[in-house]
Amino acid sequence: MSKKTPQTTETKQPTFVEELLKNGTAVLTAKTRDELAEMVNDIPANVKYGVGAVGFNPDAGVFTIRVDISND
């Protein structure tokens, strides 16, 4: 009988949050501005961060925002 893989209730952090925590900075990319706003909202509440202005890269057709861990 094959062993059942234990289920975990822990939610994995989005990749950009991992990158943010590791490097202190991350550039978030999304197809729409709303999607980008949702991504910013996914940053854990205990992380103090600062954001830049939402930009648009016409070559890639994506919206971007830079997030930095705050030094305050």
Contact 69, 48 (CB under 8 A): yes
Residues of this chain, 27-66, that bind another protein according to CB under 8 A: 27, 33-34, 37, 40, 43, 48-60, 62-66
Closer by beta carbon to another protein, 14 or else 62 = 62
> Residue 67 class from Cβ within 10 Å (0-12 exposed, 13-18 middle, 19+ buried)?
buried
Helix (H) or strand (E) holding 57: strand 55-57
**Least distance in angstroms from the C-beta of 61 to another protein:** 11
68 near another protein, rule: CB under 8 A: yes
User: CB-wise, 13 or 69, nearer to another protein?
Assistant: 69
